[in-house]
């Protein structure tokens, strides 16, 4: 199979980036298509898990959904370009990790003000994305550094 000269860790990172690309695209579609259902879904999951904190209040307008759609669009582009530039530059991978780390920390800060399950879910998901991407990123960096 032709791998365009990428190392095994680079190919693994490329596969992960392809997964994130599809995931961010689909999440953006969900935000665009069902903006009011996202918070309702997170509240339902919190209730199912018997989370003791308050529910996420219903959205007033769509300001935050529009920004979320914008972020998903940018993340799709970052992943797409990072896949193409993988053998040459890891800058876009670092930007992806930075974006997800910032939002993950933001959710933790929000969680400190209220024990809303949606903030915990956001922190786990975004920091999970950042952490998993970092794991594969470090493998690429370690291999490149040893050459």
33: in domain: yes
| Domain tally, the chain | 1
Structural domain that includes position 40: 8-146
Spacing of C-alpha 3 from chain mean position: 26
Mark out the alpha helices in the chain (DSSP H runs).
8-33, 35-48, 63-85, 91-113, 117-146
* Coil, helix or strand at residue 61: coil
Answer whether residue 31 is part of any domain.
yes
- The reported pLDDT for the residue numbered 53 is 87
Q: What is the pLDDT of residues 30-53, one digit of tens each?
A: 989 988 888 899 999 999 999 998
Residue 136 lies in a domain: yes
pLDDT score for 131: 98
116 domain-assigned = yes
Domain for residue 34, yes or no? yes
Compute, in degrees rounded to 10, the torsion defined by CA atoms 65, 63, 41, 36: -100
Domain assignment present for residue 3? The answer is: no
Contact 111, 120 (CB under 8 A): yes
Q: What is the pLDDT of residues 83-140, one digit of tens each?
A: 999 988 999 999 999 999 999 999 999 998 888 999 999 999 999 999 999 999 999 9
Mean pLDDT, the chain, whole residue set: 91
In a domain, 87, yes or no: yes
Q: What six digits make up the tokens of 22?
A: 């599809």
Residue 2: inside a domain, yes or no? no
């Amino acid at each position: 199979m032709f791998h365009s000269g990428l190392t095994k860790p680079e190919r693994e990172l490329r596969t992960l980036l392809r997964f994130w690309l599809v995931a961010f695209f689909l999440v953006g579609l969900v935000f665009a298509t069902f903006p009011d259902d996202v918070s309702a879904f997170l509240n339902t999951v919190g209730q199912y898990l018997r989370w003791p904190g308050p529910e996420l209040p219903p959205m007033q307008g769509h300001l935050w959904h529009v920004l979320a759609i914008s972020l998903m669009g940018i993340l799709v582009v970052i992943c797409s370009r990072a896949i193409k530039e993988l053998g040459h530059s890891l800058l876009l991978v670092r930007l992806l990790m930075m974006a997800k780390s910032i939002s993950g920390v933001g959710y933790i800060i929000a969680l400190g003000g209220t024990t809303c399950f949606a903030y915990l879910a956001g922190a786990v998901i975004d920091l999970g994305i950042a952490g998993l991407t970092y794991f594969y990123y470090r493998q690429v960096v370690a291999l490149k550094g040893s050459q």
